Amino acid sequence: MTTLDEVVLQLVEEIQNTSNVRRVSGDSLRKLSRSVKKLVSDSLSVHGEKPNSFGFASLHKNRNRYSSSRYSRRFSYRIHVERAYNGLTRLGYIREVKRGYFDGFGGYLTRYSATEKLRHLFADIDLRLLPVFMVSDAPDEVIQVRKVTKEVDKNTGRKKRKSVLVQYTDIPKTHQMRRNVDKINKKLRNVWIDLEISEDDWESVKWQLEQDTDKDVNPPNLANKTLYRVFSDKSFQRGGRFYGGWWQIIHKKLRSRILINGKRTVEFDYSGLHPMILYAKKQLSLPDDPYEIGLGEEHRDTVKKLFNAMLNASNDLRSPPKGIPVKETGLVWKELKQLIKEKHSGISDYFGTGVGLELQYIDSCIAEELMLRFIDEKSGTALLPVHDSFIVHHGYADELKDMMLEIFERDFGNPIEVEQKKKQVIGVLDNVSFISIPKDVDTVLSLNDVGYEMRLGAHRKYILSQG
């Protein structure tokens, strides 16, 4: 079977033999191989719902992104973009789908995809199995600090948010956190995480979800299994949540279809974690359902987002954050804000103080402890974080719930409720029982030809081959 390393060697040599490109050696050659490997694996790990079609991978083409720092040790603009990306494009192995832009505040990355010429190099591997052999490496730095500021756009005069990576000096705490993330990522690389949706059903599922969200729903990049933490400043006491896993960015209705090593999963989260922490600090009782302010269940998620926005803000919010459907509640922002303050009069002095980032740090530490404990105590599985909720093989449901309850009561002295999230209904899968097991032999055997079953088998063989 063709391996990724074999293909990388061939492509690097083709780039080196291009007439208008000077050959490189030594460290530059190692960087070129690393860049080609990333570009190939990223583009082949995301495939569309139709045979031989591919989704889009993304690339930073901003030169400043590759300035020498802890965030870009392995990749440089000269090698990664000018030599590897441009070389593979010229040779016809990848194609640029949409050119990115950056206006100093934001934008989007350049999008590219694999061509059939690149796919042909792996002709002896089933398309559906490619993510198994293309598992992405963790970023250069798994402990990141990002500063978000507001600056005035010279063209429009409007204030825009700008996020930049911040350099920092390591301290004992960052060294330990990095070791912990590396330990978690090692575990994640050794399990296979997939979606229990067949290729035949995916197109219908995609259509249903796009009607629900009015946004494009792309197949997840199953190769993105490694995590990193993002802090808000160099105190390492604000933010700190885990990012990077494909399961964190898929539509929430798909999460109940996640498989870990072929086993169905459950998801648990704390009920009103952030308000509960603040009430516990003031030795007060949390009101029933902190996000119910008389608007009904259909607006609960909106109230929760607004509540968190008010905690995250460093001053009193004069207008609601963009993207939150305030108008659908039938109230104006001033009325909604007042109702939330009245509901939480006992902790209303926290609003507009930026305490939300401190609360995120607390829930990120809980997530870190839970993942590490599962590695040490439940070695046969992995725990998948989605900020303050957690996905685990259904056989460990009780253990996860007990750990979550134990940690909170130990740290804050108060009990808290932990809830199992309900299975979400998804279009074509509405009439398919999630826990049903087919009884006829032909149906059972046919499951071996379904993508997620094939990938699990390939993953197990791959892990064994790696020793």
Residues 213-239 pLDDT 10s: 777 777 788 999 999 999 999 999 999
How many degrees, rounded to 5, is the angle at CA 387 between CA 211 and CA 242? 115
Q: At what angle do helices 273-281 and 355-377 cross, to 10 degrees?
A: 110
Q: Answer whether residue 179 shows pLDDT above 90.
A: yes
* More reliable by pLDDT, 286 or 362: 362
The pLDDT of 350-370, averaged and rounded, is 95
Which of 184, 282, 176, 174 minimizes the C-alpha distance to 237? Answer: 174
Tell me which of 125-139, 167-181, 361-375 is least confident: 125-139
Looking up tokens 């250069």, which residue turns up? 140
CA distance 243 to 249: 9
Residues 271 and 187 in one domain: yes
Q: Predicted confidence band at 431 (pLDDT cuts at 50, 70, 90)?
A: very low
- Tell me, yes or no, whether 93 lies in a domain: yes
Q: Answer whether residue 52 shows pLDDT above 50.
A: no
The mean pLDDT of the chain is 86
- Tell me, yes or no, whether 305 lies in a domain: no
Domain encompassing residue 105: 1-127
pLDDT of residue 121: 94
Q: Answer whether residue 376 shows pLDDT above 80.
A: yes
Q: Predicted confidence band at 432 (pLDDT cuts at 50, 70, 90)?
A: very low
Collapsing DSSP to helix, strand or coil, 148 comes out as strand
Q: Predicted confidence band at 104 (pLDDT cuts at 50, 70, 90)?
A: low
pLDDT of residue 136: 82
Looking up tokens 């909604």, which residue turns up? 336
Structurally, the chain folds into a number of domains equal to 2
Residues 435 and 460 in one domain: yes
Q: What is the CA radius of gyration of the chain?
A: 24
Residues 249 and 373 in one domain: yes
pLDDT tens digits, one per residue of 291-332? 889 898 889 989 999 998 998 888 889 888 888 989 999 999
Residues 2 and 84 in one domain: yes
pLDDT tens digits, one per residue of 242-281? 999 999 999 888 999 999 999 999 999 998 899 899 999 9
* More reliable by pLDDT, 153 or 12: 12
Tell me which of 19-23, 116-120, 143-147 is least confident: 19-23
Residues 114 and 228 in one domain: no
- In angstroms, how far is CA 144 from the centroid of its own chain? 15
pLDDT of residue 47: 55
pLDDT of residue 185: 96
Phi-psi region of 215 (alpha: psi -120 to 50; beta: other; left: phi over 0): beta
- In angstroms, how far is CA 55 from the centroid of its own chain? 17
- Tell me, yes or no, whether 332 lies in a domain: no
Residues 87 and 123 in one domain: yes
Phi, psi of 268 (to 5 degrees): -120, 145
Per the structure block, which two tokens stand in for 187?
């575990």
pLDDT of residue 440: 47
Q: Answer whether residue 381 shows pLDDT above 80.
A: yes
Q: Answer whether residue 48 shows pLDDT above 60.
A: no
- Tell me, yes or no, whether 315 lies in a domain: no
Cα first-last separation, the chain:
18
pLDDT of residue 51: 44
- In angstroms, how far is CA 277 from the centroid of its own chain? 25
Single residue among 101, 127, 153 that ends a domain in this structure: 127
The pLDDT of 355-366, averaged and rounded, is 95
Residues 267 and 393 in one domain: yes
pTM of this prediction?
0.87
Burial code of 142-173, b = ≥16 C-beta within 10 A, e = fewer? Answer: bbbbeeeeeeeeeeeeeeeeeeebeebeeeee
Collapsing DSSP to helix, strand or coil, 55 comes out as coil
Q: Predicted confidence band at 27 (pLDDT cuts at 50, 70, 90)?
A: very high
Q: Answer whether residue 28 shows pLDDT above 90.
A: yes
Contact 395, 378 (CB under 8 A): no
Single residue among 89, 108, 127 that ends a domain in this structure: 127
Residues 244 and 388 in one domain: yes
Phi, psi of 171 (to 5 degrees): -130, 170
Q: Answer whether residue 30 shows pLDDT above 60.
A: yes
Residues 380 and 265 in one domain: yes
pLDDT of residue 144: 97
Residues 354 and 465 in one domain: yes
Which residue type sits at 296? G
Angstrom distances, CA of residue 294 to CA of 12, 278, 303, 330, 342: 62, 22, 10, 12, 12
Q: Which helix (H) or strand (E) holds 101?
A: strand 101-102
* More reliable by pLDDT, 325 or 153: 325
Single residue among 98, 127, 156 that ends a domain in this structure: 127
- Tell me, yes or no, whether 198 lies in a domain: yes
pLDDT of residue 72: 85
Residues 192 and 102 in one domain: no
Instruction: Spell out the residues 6+ positions from residue 149 whose beta carbon is closer than 8 angstroms to its own.
Output: 161, 162, 164
Taking CB atoms within 8 Å and a gap of at least 24, the contacts of 289-293 are: 290/343, 290/344, 293/336, 293/339, 293/340, 293/342, 293/343
pLDDT of residue 215: 73
* More reliable by pLDDT, 163 or 400: 400
Q: Answer whether residue 434 shows pLDDT above 60.
A: no
Which residue type sits at 272? G
- In angstroms, how far is CA 155 from the centroid of its own chain? 33
Residues 57 and 37 in one domain: yes
- Most trustworthy range by pLDDT among 87-91, 102-106, 149-153: 87-91
- Tell me, yes or no, whether 80 lies in a domain: yes
pLDDT of residue 217: 78
Per the structure block, which two tokens stand in for 261?
């090593």
- Tell me, yes or no, whether 90 lies in a domain: yes
Collapsing DSSP to helix, strand or coil, 386 comes out as strand
Instruction: Spell out the residues 6+ positions from residue 179 whose beta carbon is closer than 8 angstroms to its own.
Output: none
Q: Predicted confidence band at 444 (pLDDT cuts at 50, 70, 90)?
A: very low
Q: Answer whether residue 447 shows pLDDT above 60.
A: no
- Tell me, yes or no, whether 300 lies in a domain: no
